[in-house]
Structure 1
Amino acid sequence: MTAALSIGIAAAAGPELGARVAAAAEAAGLHALWVNDTPGHDALEVLGAAARATERLVLATGVLPIDRRTPDDIVSASAGLPADRLVLGIGSGQLRTGAVGGVTDAATALRDRTGARVVVGALGPRMRRAGAEASDGLLLSWLTPGVAAEQAARARGITPETHVALYVRTAVDPAAVAVLEQETARYAGYPAYAANFARLDIDAADTVIRPGGELPDRIAAYRDSVDEVVLRAITASGTVDEHLRFIDTVAEAVAG
């Protein structure tokens, strides 16, 4: 299995950068642009700009937290986006009770009302099962290739057609390594992620891709584990040029 290869950015990058990155990603033959929805920034707004700059690129959110973005809000905000290219990634956000039921209900509502595909961001086994049962797929994150392959196989055992995507934080420029390490340490310190790393007996530092000679092999290993690999672009300062170089470097690595 060789997974589709996509790029991920943060909504904080803004619509203008999103449009430039989307156009470059489409030209490079990448599958999708995934945009993290963060407080104060709207992933769907960024995807709107990306949609206007592209014709074929899949447009995805990774993820919209249902504790602050209701199905009604998501339906309204995504109304202008091409449903045939749209993937709505949703997650529980900061919900501490009823998270699985809330995500299941939101996934069902969004599939019925938008015509878009819906995937569920999931860490633990209960949420992964719910996503496989109630949506079109899963968005996994912070996993080694081996663990990702195991979780993908379990999801397909529940629903064979489940699409499993995986976010992999990736730096291709040595100048971005410090930012990658800060991002890794930050997530390793979040209680939910820390518990997940402990449960899986993996180190957060082993779930990322660093620049250098390992880049092609690491990308290949991840592409053998799931259906879609989302290289979450980690750059030194977040400029357009850095993101465009990221795409060029990835394309060169994949080409051989």
Structure 2
Amino acid sequence: MRIGTAVVGTRLEFEDVVGEVRGAAAAGLDSVFFPQLDDWDAITLAGAAGREVPGIEVATGIVPTYPRHPVVMAGQALTAAALTGGRFTLGIGPSHAQIMQDRLGYSYDRPVRHVREYLEALRPLLRGEEVEYRGETLTAAGRTAVPGAAPPPVLLSALGPRMLRLAGELADGTITNWMRPEAIAEQVAPAIGRAAAEAGRPAPRIVAFTMVALTDDPDGARAALAGQLGFAGDLPAYRAVLDRQGLSGVHETIIAGDERAVEAAIRRYASAGATDLLLSPMGGAEERDRVLRLAASAGRAARPPARTSNPNRKGLMTG
């Protein structure tokens, strides 16, 4: 299973962000994801940081769709793909009504229809095709071309059944949040896998995000997370995710414990069908480094063995 981490640009200078990405690469991680918050532009930051640090995937997780027209999004994503030599992945999603509607003034009516039409317009634009799209929620006409840029993979933030179907049908995978391994196995993997198969698409990527604390006081870590991010459980989309799992709050989704507990949790996510585990470590710089190195090692151990090219050879699976 691939292991990644999230780098939040808040209060960080650009060189500090690059340092975080270099640290992730040195720890053996596969990817770094950048959320879109109220500071750095996530796509620009991913492209610029990825150009500075070779050999690691950079991605957004996520950029909201409403404020960026598909033509604009395609141009930005292709620019980041060109800057990184094809190591950029675009993670998008509709965000939340409290942000898009209450703060920014966009109508949040029919978000699933909006996302379907957004992807139907965006994917050909990323391929450099001429688009003339007239939907119920958006119009897109024109073409976006960035020399030397291959279309980046697109991941969709999908938490409920309808969005998971869209992710399987029209995207390359999904980014989930606040889900335990059991929810990945029972809710996410079957739904998105079935949708992808019905659409004739490859097996989708499933990126599971979770907080992690390497600690001898798991209950204390959960209490700290509840105090810091407990408000996330009040957002309707996240509340629905928690309710489907029978959880009271986001603090119940954290990986917390000693090295063996963290390694066991990573194995459970891999067994559940997650292709990637996106970790946000709690604690200071030293604790973060320990968590990421441990996770990178555990992730490599959890990857399925590769098949040999000779099916008649004994021991068809190699490490």
Q: How many angstroms does 1:69 deviate by?
A: 2.9
Go from structure 1 to structure 2 and tell me whether the alpha carbon gap of 1:75 and 1:174 turns closer, same or farther (over 3 Å shift): farther
Q: Which residue of 2 aligns with 1:156?
A: 193
Match status 1:135 vs 2:171: yes
Q: How far apart in 2 are the matches of 1:108 and 1:27?
A: 38
Q: How far apart in 1 are the matches of 2:59 and 2:161?
A: 23
Go from structure 1 to structure 2 and tell me whether the alpha carbon gap of 1:65 and 1:235 turns closer, same or farther (over 3 Å shift): farther
Q: What letter corresponds to residue 161 of structure 2 in structure 1?
A: P
Partner-residue secondary structure (3-state), 1:25: helix
Name the TM-score, length of structure 1 as normaliser. 0.85
Go from structure 1 to structure 2 and tell me whether the alpha carbon gap of 1:23 and 1:252 turns closer, same or farther (over 3 Å shift): same
Partner-residue secondary structure (3-state), 1:37: coil
Q: How far apart in 2 are the matches of 1:13 and 1:128?
A: 33
Go from structure 1 to structure 2 and tell me whether the alpha carbon gap of 1:219 and 1:11 turns closer, same or farther (over 3 Å shift): same
Question: Number of residues paired by the alignment?
Answer: 251
Partner-residue secondary structure (3-state), 2:53: coil
Q: How many angstroms does 1:195 deviate by?
A: 2.6
Contact 2:269 2:277 in 1 (8 A): yes
Partner-residue secondary structure (3-state), 2:66: coil
* Aligned pair partner of 2:252 in 186, 201, 206: 206
Structure 2: gaps spanning 5 or more residues: 98-107, 127-150, 198-202, 302-319
Match status 1:232 vs 2:280: yes
Q: Which residue of 2 aligns with 1:109?
A: 121
Go from structure 1 to structure 2 and tell me whether the alpha carbon gap of 1:255 and 1:100 turns closer, same or farther (over 3 Å shift): closer
Q: How many angstroms does 1:154 deviate by?
A: 2.1
Contact 1:20 1:53 in 2 (8 A): no
Contact 2:77 2:90 in 1 (8 A): no
Partner-residue secondary structure (3-state), 1:56: coil
Structure 1: gaps spanning 5 or more residues: none
Q: How far apart in 2 are the matches of 1:253 and 1:152?
A: 21
Q: More relative contact order in 1 or in 2 (CA 8 Å, sep 6+)?
A: 1
Q: How far apart in 1 are the matches of 2:228 and 2:93?
A: 20
* Aligned pair partner of 1:216 in 263, 270, 273: 263
Q: How many angstroms does 1:253 deviate by?
A: 5.9
- CA-to-partner distance for each residue in 1:174-200, whole Å, 9 max, x for gaps? 799365333441212223212331133
Contact 1:65 1:93 in 2 (8 A): yes
Match status 1:8 vs 2:6: yes
Q: How many angstroms does 1:126 deviate by?
A: 0.8
* Aligned pair partner of 1:185 in 230, 237, 247: 230
Contact 1:21 1:244 in 2 (8 A): no
Q: Which residue of 1 aligns with 2:101?
A: none
Larger radius of gyration: 2
**Which structure has more helix as a fraction of its residues?**
1
- CA-to-partner distance for each residue in 1:150-182, whole Å, 9 max, x for gaps? 211221112141111111122336799365333
Greater CA deviation, 188-197 or 145-154? 188-197
Name the TM-score, length of structure 2 as normaliser. 0.69
Contact 1:171 1:180 in 2 (8 A): no
Match status 1:45 vs 2:44: yes
Match status 1:89 vs 2:96: no
